[in-house]
Structure 1
Amino acid sequence: MSFQKDCHTKADLDLCIFHDIFRRADKNDDGAISWAEFVCYFSDGIMTDDGMRALFTEIDTHHTNNIDTQELCSYFSSHLGAHAPVFKAAATLCNAVSLSMKSLAETHPAGSSAAQFIDRFLLREICAHLEAQHRVLRNALDSLESQGRARASAGTGETPELAAAAAAANCQGVVLPYTRLMSAPSSMQVQDSMPQSQADSAGRLQQEVQKLQRLVDRMEANTSFFTGRSEEAVMEEEEPVILVVRRRVTVQDEQLSRLRAALKKYAAELEGRVPQCLFLSVRVYRETGGLVIYEFWESLGSWRKFLPSPVSKELRKCIVDCSEAPESTETLLLPSDWWKQLEH
């Protein structure tokens, strides 16, 4: 069902945004949102796994363990409250912009220089107005999320564990953050996105990449990390550990360049700001369209705390839009001493 058909009547217009949400959440286009797809699209990193499961069950009024369009629209429409006028205005705006752009494409090329100037001026003013409203909404959202994290931490003593729990429970929708992208055999070439100071230290970075590549190769081959050592004697059972995260994404061919650009932007924004992320490597398999991201975090807690951040969520939305299916995620805790030895 097309967007235009969804929104022909006023009643449909009020719901067209939810139809669009459903289409984006339904990654495999089977007409239903599974539990994995639900967590992939709706999780905010604050609500717990139990809370998300309870919400999923509440929306699934047909008890099929899947959510269809009617269930999704009915549930959220009945909970709009004070947001109802905003959603109605947004739906009307979507329709108006579509009609305006169609008209602009037909009339602008043949218009006079004055008419073309007016088109550019009006669009610029509209963009400025919408960006101002976006900032208001973003500030409100950031405030609500900050309050939510504070309440969750006060109630449980730690950051909510939905993302980690979902990954461990075969949830394929968790998006994991990283701080830098580096070249390796069969990996993305992204040096052009890095600051000049990093380009100047390319030799040092290349050495780090080679260390990571050796570690990754050993992990994939299920071999010992340190040749000739099958066991180690340690002083304490509760030794410090680091977190290794492995994410698999199947990217739509036409969306690969968009995702690469998003990854570069993400890396540039986080470089130097999140020291808790120790290392990252991205590998692209051209024949299958698969993309694998390896991340090393100094602790499980540091990864969890970063998941709800705006930067992490921005990349998450891009991955949801660009991937053919929900991503799969694997995590592994390793002794931190192993990482320290690999650094030298």
Structure 2
Amino acid sequence: FLSLLRRGLSFDEFNAYFADGILTTEELQELFYSIDGRQNNNLDTDKLSDYFSQHLGEYLNVLSSLESLNIAILKAMDKTKEEYQGSSVLGQFVTRFMLRETSSQLSSLQRSLQCAMEAVEEQSSPAPTRRALRFTCSSAVSYMYVCCSAAGLTLDHEENWCSQINKLQQLLDKLECQVCHLSAPTSINILLVQRQMSVIEGDVDKFQMVLKSYLAATAAQTDNLHVSVQKLPGKSCYIMYEFWQDRLSWMSYLQSNSSKDFQRCVIDMLEDAEVVSTMLLPASWWIMSNNNN
């Protein structure tokens, strides 16, 4: 590392670290040489630091706060490690609650940041086509569940997958032909949020009660288009689908009391961390579906 600081960065190293899938290699090379100024394929790390320091803006406060937060969390973890075993039952309960609450708050913040990252990347990238959208879901199986449910198809384990895929292909081709006859929607895309939760077997009944309240609260939101949940057969695994007007609507809802209360209630009922994925869908599909209904 010290050797790297002394000799500076080559363009290959710069490209490997900063490539984001949006800027082209040529654009990154132009940036590299504009920072260096010497065009000798050896970028001084001090110049790189100075360049980003000039563009930190509000993120100067964010990064400073993160550094302070990191120190505070590490200190709290060290204290917990030293004192937890010797604490009273009530003291251990409070420690577990504080850890769980801290984890929940950080997870919520991370989801908001991830949404912001995806939003700015989407604004910088060309609008996704229907064919591209097929492969942006977290898994092909999840995407099949969404589309087949919307189309009224079933996913019987004994039925040939190829047959289902062919039916879905025909449906998508039909939708693509019909979309051009629709009036332009007010928003280009809507947001589909998929949330997968594996519930501890003994907590299923309690989870279902909390889930029912959350579904009602979510459905009552003005910007929520639809919310539904599916339990995978033979498993205590639930997949929830939330359709939102746009990404900002969902991000705002994540900060609401209803969303935070749900997260706090279910965190101890889950076997593993909740898996959340998002996908943009053409708003015209949603309009057409409602018109047909």
Report the TM-score, using the length of structure 1 for normalisation.
0.40
**Relative contact order (C-alpha < 8 Å, sep 6+): which is higher?**
1
Report the TM-score, using the length of structure 2 for normalisation.
0.46
